[in-house]
A and B are shown apart, each in its own frame.
Chain A
């Protein structure tokens, strides 16, 4: 079959690669389209790359990423931070939106896509550009995602999520909340739509123009046939799901390869104390000097050898046990028996690699779902969370010593690891199966709940409840009136006096 892939730049793309490779090996033709200005999305041997012109340069995208990484270390007051983040998100998303708009208005390019007669489309709906293309080309879509902001994924799949035990993202709530936490959860639920509008509603207007019918973002997202969710209930709290959601968390935890000579040498030299792997992900290239020095100091205080992936300036106080590298084979190092701890920004890739290899974590969440990931691992006793802005060298030292020396952290992460890896089918195979399924059957309409065709008051049966209440009230009213009438007849004047007395007090 023929598959069209519309990825999103950044780490999201990296986990999609495995699925594409597997699909190509099964004999499918895969076409990936991406803007000319992309950082991570490059030509590959197992797919056809088609780039479309966009009104921005590679440098702009890089700059946006670098700034995102840098901004998390800004020590601004809360409100200023919110305003800054809001402005940044607005700026970046309008840049990406303009890329999408250029694609959709590129008549020649779109026509060539139409002529290719794809069987299905695989896309990351984080930005719903692929969703618009899917509707424009009338292709069944498979979504590949972590989660969408503002619960858009729940809304678009019609998945119920009771606010009483399903924590909202960024609320730092768990699935067991006290009354005030539940109030917080509810308030976030009531306000989050407003915050998301800045990013998502322009896609609604763009789609309305392209498809020439009135569509909302929810209309764009909801026709997806299958939602491949990079989640697993070892990490996430159990909650209701829908039949067309497929959970493929841990898809990035591939088979380990042997370490290169360079890293092998580091690991062997670490002796009985073993190593600590430290990476804040591909998005953070530089840390403010003061913070970096504090970190370096803390790392120097532990007996383990620390492998730190860092591309910024070398902190002057770096201890002997700390080795700075530009890149490290994270999964292979974590899989080494000498790995004692993992310092991570708790992005979902890192978290699953930590779970998969059973390495306790020290987490420094920076933005987005990383806060939630850290919270979940912490409540399961598999790691310690630090606030990257407020932490001191002592905090980091203590956290590292705790997860390394307190046996319970290792036990908990090993238990999670064994639960996570005990599954009837590997997540990669599952993802490949469902993409092929949608290609074979041109969608999966039998998995689409009828809830999509109901209005909100119908969905919650408010009309039915109202109707039944009306009947009950009418019956009660009639019975009351007839009784009253009966009483009046029976008791004559006396009854009347009572009645009029009663109505006066009302």
Chain B
């Protein structure tokens, strides 16, 4: 079959690429559409890549992203989607959304895509463009994502999500909430309905322009055939799902390869204390100097050898046990029996590598779903969360010593690991299966709930309830009136006096 792929830049692409590469040997023809300017998408690939020119440069992209990250460092205390929506760093998202306009400006590319008659679109919905492409070419689509921003999973798949026990994203809540937390959760849910459309305004404007009809985010999401979500219920809290929502969390946790000689030497030199792996992900390249020094100080106080992936300036107080590297084979190191702890920004890739290899974590969430990931791991007793803005060297030292020396952390993460890895089918195979399924059957209409065709009041049966209430009230009213009439007839004047007396007291 022929598959069109509309990916998203950054770490998102790492796992999506794994699925695409697994599809190639099965004889599918794959075409990936990428913007000319990107971080990860420009790398040479062994399938057809179509690029389109964009109106900004690599520097623009880097600058906007840095601005976004910096604003996250500042406003991190506030939780919930709302601060993110109103953050001054919207420029980064505007830039992402604008890709779609550039894509459709490239008439030659659009014509090529039209002629190619693809079987399906495999897309990352983060920048919305994939959804617009799917709708424009009327192709069945498979979504691949960690989660869906705002309430669009609920609306797009018609998945119920009772705010009483399903926490809204980025609120750092669990599924057991106090009354106050539930109030906050419901308000946040309402806030999403109110503010998300304006956050995505640029994206929906472009989509409306391209499709030549006004569309909302829900219109774009609701035709999706299958949703592949990179999460599972060892990390996620149990909640209602829909038959076309497939969980493939842990897809990136592959077999450990032996580490290179350089790292092997570090690991062997660590002795009985073992190593601690430290990475804040590929998106954070530099930490403010003061913070970096505090971190370095704390790291120097533990007996383990530290492997710190850091591309910024070397902190002057770096201790002997800390080794600064530009890159590290994270999964392979975590899989090494000498790995004692993992300091992570708790991005979903890192968290799943930690779970998969059973390494307790010290988590410094920075933005987005990282807060939630950290909260989930903490409530399961598999890690300690630190507030990266407020933490001192002592905090970090204590956190590290706790997860390393307190046996319960290791036990809990090992239990999660065994639950996570005990599955009837590997997530990568499952993802490949469902992409092929949608290609084979041109969608999955039999998994599409009829709820899509109902209005909101129909969905909640408000019209039916109103109708039944009206009947009940009418019957009660008639019965009451006839009784009253009957009473009056039977008891004559006496009844009338009573009645008038009663109505007076009212």
Chain A residues lying within 8 Å of B422, measured Cβ to Cβ, are 437, 440-441
Is the CB of B107 closer than 8 A to any CB of chain A? no
**Residue A319 CB within 8 A of the other chain:** no
CA distance A117 to B460 in the complex (A): 47
Chain A residues with CB under 8 A of B243: 233, 238-239, 241, 247
Q: Are B238 and A164 in contact (CB under 8 A)?
A: no
Of B183, B441, B459, which contacts A467 at CB under 8 A? B183
Pairwise interchain contact A242-B464, C-beta atoms closer than 8 A: no
B437:A162 contact, CB within 8 angstroms? no
Bound CA–CA A176/B450 (angstroms): 6
Any A CB within 8 A of the CB of B419? yes
Q: Inside 8 A of B239's CB, which chain A residues have their CB?
A: 243, 449
Complex: how many Å from CA A243 to CA B245?
A: 11
The docked-state distance in angstroms from the alpha carbon of A179 to that of B466 is 12
- Pick the residue among B174, B244, B459 that contacts A162 (CB under 8 A): B459
**A window 472-498: CB within 8 A of B:** none
Cβ of A446 under 8 Å from chain B: yes
Q: Is A361 an interface residue (CB 8 A)?
A: no
Could you give, for residues 431-462 of chain A, a 1 whenever the CB lies within 8 Å of some chain B CB and a 0 otherwise? 00110010011000011111101100011110
Contact B183 A468 (CB under 8 A): yes
Q: CB within 8 Å of A: which of B185-215? A: 186-187
Across the interface, do A241 and B182 meet the contact criterion of CB distance under 8 Å?
Answer: no
Q: How many residues belonging to B are interface residues under a CB distance threshold of 8 Å? A: 53
The reply on A430 being an interface residue by CB < 8 A is yes
Contact (Cβ within 8 A) B163 A240 = no
Among B422-459, those with CB < 8 Å from A are 422, 424-425, 429-430, 433-434, 437, 440-441, 446-451, 453-454, 458-459
Q: How far in angstroms is the closest Cβ of chain B from A375?
A: 14
Contact assessment for A454 and B454 in the assembled complex, using a CB-CB cutoff below 8 Å: no
Please determine whether A454 and B238 come into contact, CB atoms closer than 8 angstroms. no
Q: In the bound complex, what is the Cα–Cα distance between A434 and B453 (angstroms)?
A: 35
Least Cβ–Cβ distance between B235 and chain A, in angstroms:
9
- A367 interface hit (Cβ, 8 Å): no
Is A68 interfacial (CB 8 A cutoff)?
no
Whether B176 sits at the interface, judged by CB under 8 Å, is yes
Let me know if B479 is at the binding interface, CB within 8 A.
no
* B1 in contact (CB, < 8 A): no
* Contact in complex: A164, B162 (CB < 8 Å): no
Expressed in whole angstroms, the Cα–Cα distance for A248 and B477 within the complex equals: 51
Given contacts A160-B160, A183-B467, A233-B446, whether A454 and B165 have CB atoms under 8 Å apart is yes
Q: Are A237 and B449 in contact (CB under 8 A)?
A: yes
Instruction: State whether A453 touches B238 (Cβ < 8 A).
Output: no
Q: With contacts A233-B243, A238-B449 known, is A163 near B424, CB below 8 A?
A: no
Cβ B242 vs Cβ A243 within 8 A: no
Chain B residues positioned under 8 Å from A244 (CB to CB) = 238
**Which residue of chain B is the closest to A235 with respect to CB atoms?**
B446
Which A residue sits closest to B247, measured CB to CB?
A: A243
Instruction: Please tell me if the beta carbons of B159 and A240 are within 8 angstroms of each other in the complex.
Output: yes
A458 surroundings in chain B (CB, below 8 A): 164, 182
Do the beta carbons of A461 and B182 come within 8 Å of each other? yes
A183 touches B468 (CB 8 A): yes
Cβ of A233: which chain B residues have Cβ within 8 Å of it?
Answer: 243, 446-447
Within 8 A of B (CB), among A131-170: 159-160, 162-165
**Is A429 part of the binding interface, using a Cβ–Cβ cutoff of 8 Å?**
yes
A240 partner residues in chain B, CB cutoff 8 A: 159-160, 240-242, 449
Q: Is the CB of A164 within 8 A of B447?
A: no
Given A453-B176, A461-B186, A464-B186: A242 touches B419 (CB 8 Å cut-off): no
Instruction: Verify if A424 is at the interface (C-beta below 8 Å from B).
Output: yes
CB proximity of A381 to chain B, nearest CB, Å: 13
Q: Which residues of B contact A165 (CB under 8 A)?
A: 449-451, 454, 459
B156 to chain A, nearest CB (A): 14
Bound Cα distance from A186 to B422, whole angstroms: 41
Task: Please measure, in the bound complex, the distance between the C-alpha atom of A57 and the C-alpha atom of B24, giving whole angstroms.
Answer: 63
In the bound assembly, the distance between CA atoms of A459 and B450 in angstroms comes to 24
Return chain B residues, CB-CB under 8 Å to A459: 162, 164-165
Given the known A-B contacts A186-B468, A237-B450, A446-B238, are A451 and B461 also in contact in the complex, defined by CB atoms under 8 Å? no
Q: Interface 1/0s, chain A 105-126, versus B by CB < 8 A?
A: 0000000000000000000000
Do B242 and A238 touch (CB < 8 A)? yes
* B242 to chain A: closest residue by CB: A240
Cβ-defined contact, B465 with A460, below 8 A = no
A463 at the B interface (CB under 8 A) = yes
Could you say which of A187, A243, A461 contacts B164, with CB atoms under 8 Å apart?
A: A461
What separation, in Å, do the CA atoms of A175 and B440 have in the docked complex? 25
A463-B179 in contact (CB<8A): yes
Tell me the complex Cα distance, A186–B463, Å.
11
Tell me if A195 counts as interface (CB < 8 A to partner B).
no
Contact-residue bracket for chain A = 35 or more
Residue interface mask B384-423, A partner, CB < 8 A = 1: 0000000000000000000000000000000000110010
Contact between B465 and A242 (Cβ–Cβ < 8 Å)?
Answer: no
Judged by a CB distance under 8 angstroms, whether B119 is at the interface is no
Min CB distance, B430 to chain A, in Å?
6
Residues B461 and A186 in contact, CB atoms below 8 Å apart: yes
Q: Does A349 contact B (CB under 8 A)?
A: no
Given contact pairs A183-B464, A240-B242, A241-B243, A162 touches B162 in the complex (Cβ within 8 A): no
- Docked pose: A468 CA to B465 CA in angstroms: 23
Which A363-413 residues have a C-beta within 8 angstroms of B?
A: none
Q: Are A243 and B241 in touch, CB under 8 angstroms?
A: yes
Q: Which of A159, A425, A446 contacts B419 (CB 8 A)?
A: A446
CB-contact partner of B182 in A176, A234, A464, under 8 A: A464
Q: Which of A243, A429, A451 contacts B424 (CB 8 A)?
A: A429
Mark out the residues of chain A between 154 and 206 whose CB falls within 8 Å of any chain B CB in the assembled complex. Answer: 159-160, 162-165, 175-176, 179, 182-183, 185-187
Distance, CA A433 to CA B163, complexed state (A): 32
Chain B residues lying within 8 Å of A163, measured Cβ to Cβ, are: 461, 464
**A176 to chain B: which residues have CB within 8 Å?**
450, 453
Which of A175, A433, A449, A460 interacts with B238 by CB under 8 Å? A449
Q: Which of A227-267 contact B (CB under 8 A)?
A: 233-234, 237-244, 247
Q: Which residues of B contact A187 (CB under 8 A)?
A: 468
Residue B18 CB within 8 A of the other chain: no
B441 touches A422 (CB 8 A): yes
* A160 neighbours in B (Cβ, 8 Å): 160, 162, 240
Complex Cα distance, B159 from A29, in Å, reads: 40
Interface centre among B174, B238, B418 (most CB of A within 10 A): B238
B237 touches A (CB below 8 Å): yes
Interface centre among B165, B234, B460 (most CB of A within 10 A): B165
Q: Which residues of B contact A422 (CB under 8 A)?
A: 437, 440-441
Provide the bound-state CA to CA distance between A130 and B214, in Å.
Answer: 56
Residues of A within 8 A of B94 (CB): none
Query: Whole-angstrom distance between the alpha carbons of A433 and B425 in the complex?
Result: 10
* Complex-state Cα separation, A341 to B165, whole angstroms: 49
Check if A186 sits within 8 Å of B448, measured CB to CB.
no
The answer to whether the Cβ of A419 comes within 8 Å of any Cβ in the partner chain is: yes
Contact of A164 with B186 in the complex, beta carbons under 8 Å:
no
* Assembly CA distance A162 to B460 (angstroms): 7
Contacts of B441 in A (CB 8 A): 418-419, 422
In the A-B complex, the 5 residue pairs with the smallest Cβ-Cβ separation, listed nearest first, are: A450-B175, A175-B450, A160-B160, A165-B450, A433-B424
A162-B160, A162-B451, A240-B241 known, 10 other contacts, Cβ within 8 Å: A185-B464, A186-B464, A238-B449, A241-B241, A441-B419, A446-B238, A446-B419, A450-B238, A459-B164, A459-B165
Can you offer 12 A-B residue contacts whose CB atoms are under 8 A? A162-B461, A165-B449, A183-B468, A237-B449, A241-B243, A242-B240, A425-B424, A440-B422, A450-B175, A451-B165, A453-B176, A463-B182
List chain A positions with a Cβ less than 8 A from chain B.
159-160, 162-165, 175-176, 179, 182-183, 185-187, 233-234, 237-244, 247, 418-419, 422, 424-425, 429-430, 433-434, 437, 440-441, 446-451, 453-454, 458-461, 463-465, 467-468
Q: Which residues of B pack against A, CB within 8 Å?
A: 159-160, 162-165, 174-176, 179, 182-183, 186-187, 233-234, 237-244, 418-419, 422, 424-425, 429-430, 433-434, 437, 440-441, 446-451, 453-454, 458-461, 463-465, 467-468
